[in-house]
Amino acid sequence: MTRLVAELISCPVKGFFGQPDNPEIAIEGSNRQSNYLVFKGHQTFHKVCQKIQHKHLIYVVRDVRVLAISGANFFKFYPSKLDKYICKSPLFGNFYYNNFISENTKINQMIRVLDQGEKSVPCCYISWEKHVIQYLNNGVLVIKYEYLLLNPEAECQKILSNIGIERSKEQIAVAVKNQSFGTIKEKFKLSGDRRRENFLREGKSSGWKQKFTAEQKHFVKNRFFDTLSALNYLD
């Protein structure tokens, strides 16, 4: 999404908002000449608005159930101190983590983080619900990740209209193609950039249906019912 916005308006992706030394994988386009810069961030609305007017914000929201799967794969979760100790081993830590700590355990841990917030987990200081509501209640342009997958051209037009920039249908189509999940992943693969290639996992939005247990589905639906309903995420 970050790269797509930058390509649409032909400006650089500067990196993580407020973290100039963070080697964010989306950084690109340093040769683009523009009055605009695009930053990526996960901060709360109030923290961002200390430095940026809210009319310059684009909030990408994802179904909390999708985030549970994504976070379970991205962050490291240790059921016990012993598990953490073993996983820190340079010899077989990764093998132990991938084979002896179940996916269901990792998903449960991430659901807890999304439910309550957790300061020790980057970007998850408050619950998913509180984070989303701050942006929904302050008139920020909200783009649903799932809609972006289904109809990227229409979502791109919303972004351009909000910024006040015009692009032809052909220009939008080129930007969408250049920044599609498959194109970017292949680009990283061909360049030998394994870190950035591996960061991009599947680019799907419905994997939680197969991975969640019945209990997890029930809990998350009830816990986040109002926000899921407001965002039309409920069947």
Burial of 229 (0-12, 13-18, 19+ CB in 10 A): exposed
Q: Where are the beta strands (DSSP E) in 10-168?
A: 13-16, 38-40, 58-61, 141-144
- The architecture in CATH of the region 42-231 reads 3-Layer(aba) Sandwich (3.40)
Least confident window among 53-62, 185-194, 220-229: 185-194
CA distance 145 to 170: 22
Who wins on pLDDT, 23 or 234?
Answer: 234
**For residue 93, what pLDDT is reported?**
96
pTM of the entire structure? Answer: 0.85
Query: In the chain, what are the domain boundaries?
Result: 1-41, 42-231
**For residue 202, what pLDDT is reported?**
55
* Alpha carbons within 13 A on the beta-carbon side of 148: 25
**For residue 21, what pLDDT is reported?**
75
**For residue 53, what pLDDT is reported?**
76
What tokens does 107 get?
């998903």
**For residue 109, what pLDDT is reported?**
97
**For residue 52, what pLDDT is reported?**
82
Contact partners, residue 44, CB within 8 Å, separation at least 6: 125, 126, 131, 134
Q: For residues 21-29, give the mean pLDDT.
A: 80
Rg (alpha carbons) of the chain, rounded to whole number = 19
Contact partners, residue 100, CB within 8 Å, separation at least 6: 83
Is the pLDDT confidence value at 198 over 60? no
Compute CA distances 229 → 60, 214, 223, 226, 235, whole Å.
17, 19, 12, 5, 9
